[in-house]
């Protein structure tokens, strides 16, 4: 019997359900993912999002289909479609590789093995998050003001999160921590999701517009920047939510430590440098309006012409040279540790 529950993903009674992250924090609605179309649609629409969570949801979906009696060929085809649903976060590809290897093995016991592999992937991620948190907290002084971007918490993983997991662990261990939460345009993962998670744990935070980071750093009110990653190349360059690179440049200018926290499942062994990381471009409407109000500003007035040309990359690449340290589950890497 498989029974797996995280903040945003459940596999219970053979059915995968996801907390619709696009509706948060206004509404907490769980959606059943019984068809491939619903599952890939949920990934594309960011109902499930965050690099580890995307991959975990995809493999649990394949486990649910296996429990339902799906044929091996059909599962292989589903795996291809899932792989194509979002291009940048490499955890999806890394986890599907593990499932595809089992599907390709001869013999008839693949179904059980697939289900236990999916279960291991979920449980491993919980443990990876704990290790990241332990390694990250060791870097923090007793009093610290951290700036973070996007959402890297329980919603984005099976466990306590990556960058946000370090923050919640530091709070639990008695550090006096205050978090500057970037709103994270265009889809407001900071405003909607990180603020929601921090509110639940009662960690002091303040929401800021993305473009307030520079003035806060200049005023000496940021001690470190801590972000997650969607894909880390073998030279330490990494892709993360659009705006991360700007934060790294600002941090360097103001001599503020800049850390990235991620499990080793976010490493891409096929990617020699950031230049090889595929960057997802998303719909113009996301930039023309705000979430929940397509084409409208918060006041309800049109935010921009429905025909305004838009460039909407979902991620950017931060070069390794701007990173103070990479907080992995295996330990903290420094610039000299990449060869």
For ligand MRU, the binding residue among 103, 222, 314, 323 (CB under 6 A) is: 314
Pair of tokens at residue 143 = 């009093």
What mask of x and - would describe binding to ligand MRU in positions 154 to 183, judged by CB under 6 A? --xx---xx---------------------
How far lies 83's CA from each of 4, 39, 87, in Å? Answer: 22, 12, 8
Strand, coil or helix: what is 217? helix
For ligand MRU, the binding residue among 6, 36, 43, 49 (CB under 6 A) is: 49
- Part in contact with ligand MRU (CB under 6 A); list of ranges 49-57, 95-103, 195-203, 321-329: 49-57
Residue 223 designated active-site: no
Catalytic residue chosen out of the listed positions 125, 230, 237, 329: 230
Q: Is 51 in the site for ligand MRU (CB under 6 A)?
A: yes
| CB nearer to ligand MRU: pick between 10 and 282 | 282
Q: Is 89 in the site for ligand MRU (CB under 6 A)?
A: yes
The interface with ligand MRU within residues 238-267 (CB under 6 A) comprises: 240-241
Pair of tokens at residue 92 = 């999806």
Residues 48 and 59: their CA atoms lie apart, in Å, by 13
Local structure of residue 144 (DSSP, 8 states): E
Q: Is 189 in the site for ligand MRU (CB under 6 A)?
A: yes
The interface with ligand MRU within residues 210-239 (CB under 6 A) comprises: 228-230
Q: Is 9 in the site for ligand MRU (CB under 6 A)?
A: no
HEC secondary structure over 46-106? CCCCCHHHHHHHHHHHHHHHHHCCCCHHHHHHHHHHHHCCCCCCHHHHHHHHHHHHHHHCC
Cα 168 to chain centroid, rounded: 16
Residues 140 and 37: their CA atoms lie apart, in Å, by 43
Q: Is 52 in the site for ligand MRU (CB under 6 A)?
A: yes
Which sequence positions are flagged as catalytic? 230
* Chain residues in the site for ligand MRU (CB under 6 A): 46, 49-52, 89, 150, 152, 156-157, 161-162, 189, 228-230, 240-241, 314
């Amino acid at each position: 019997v498989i029974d797996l529950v995280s903040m945003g993903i459940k596999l219970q009674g053979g059915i995968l359900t996801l907390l619709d992250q696009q509706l948060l924090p206004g509404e907490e609605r769980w959606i059943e993912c019984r068809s491939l179309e619903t599952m890939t649609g949920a990934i594309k629409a960011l109902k499930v999002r965050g690099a580890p969570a995307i991959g975990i949801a995809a493999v649990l979906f394949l486990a649910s289909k296996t429990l339902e009696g799906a044929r091996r060929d059909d599962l292989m085809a589903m795996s291809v479609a899932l792989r194509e649903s979002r291009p940048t976060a490499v955890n999806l590809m890394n986890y599907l590789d593990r499932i595809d290897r089992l599907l390709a093995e001869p013999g008839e016991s693949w179904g059980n093995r697939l289900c236990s592999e999916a279960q291991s992937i979920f449980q491993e991620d919980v443990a990876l998050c704990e290790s990241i948190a332990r390694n990250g907290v060791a870097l923090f002084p007793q009093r610290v003001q951290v700036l973070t971007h996007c959402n890297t918490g329980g919603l984005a993983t099976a466990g306590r999160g990556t960058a946000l997991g370090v923050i919640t662990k530091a709070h639990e261990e008695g550090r006096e921590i205050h978090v500057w939460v970037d709103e994270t345009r265009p889809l407001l993962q900071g405003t909607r999701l990180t603020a929601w998670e921090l509110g639940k744990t009662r960690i002091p935070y303040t929401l800021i517009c993305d473009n307030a980071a520079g003035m806060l750093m200049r005023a000496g009110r940021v001690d470190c920047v801590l972000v997650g990653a969607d894909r880390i190349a073998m030279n330490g360059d990494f892709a993360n939510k659009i705006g991360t690179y700007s934060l790294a440049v600002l941090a360097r200018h103001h001599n503020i430590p800049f850390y990235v926290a991620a499990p080793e499942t976010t490493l891409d062994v096929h990617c020699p440098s950031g230049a090889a990381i595929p960057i997802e471009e998303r719909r113009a409407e996301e930039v023309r309006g705000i979430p929940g109000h397509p084409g409208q500003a918060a006041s309800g007035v049109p935010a921009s012409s429905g025909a305004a040309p838009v460039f909407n990359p979902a991620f950017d690449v931060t070069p390794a040279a701007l990173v103070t340290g990479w907080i992995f589950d295996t330990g903290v890497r420094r610039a000299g540790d990449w060869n």
